[in-house]
């Protein structure tokens, strides 16, 4: 069984890759780029899957993070892909993920 730390590292790494995919790209360029959309969706699914695998007793120590929302996003990507709004995906990547990355980085630093 993988440790919670490894799942958190997966999340931070996925966010870093999303940042790379979106570097220099505005929302309209993202919407027009199928490769970038696919790459970002894949990494969002990784984030959701990693969040889903965190043990409840571990995740419960950090109630300020909405782990269920992250896991739920993975389910939307996997099961409701036909209704994905890429404008929301872009805004999530630009506004929510930096905060999540900082929160998880703080957890990882405190867990050393």
Q: Which positions are annotated as active-site residues?
A: 74, 79
Q: Which long-range contacts (CB under 8 A, 24 or more apart) does 30-38 make?
A: 30/86, 30/90, 31/86, 31/87, 31/90, 37/86, 37/89
């Amino acid at each position: 069984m993988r440790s919670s730390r490894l799942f958190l590292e997966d999340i931070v790494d996925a966010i870093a890759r999303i940042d790379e995919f979106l570097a220099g790209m505005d929302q309209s360029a993202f919407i027009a780029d199928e490769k970038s959309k696919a790459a970002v969706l894949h990494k969002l699914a990784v984030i959701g899957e990693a969040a889903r695998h965190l043990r409840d007793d571990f995740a419960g120590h950090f109630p300020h993070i909405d782990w269920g929302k992250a896991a739920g996003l993975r389910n939307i990507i996997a099961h409701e892909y036909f209704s994905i709004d890429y404008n929301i995906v872009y805004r999530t990547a630009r506004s929510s993920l930096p905060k999540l990355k900082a929160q998880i980085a703080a957890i990882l630093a405190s867990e050393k």
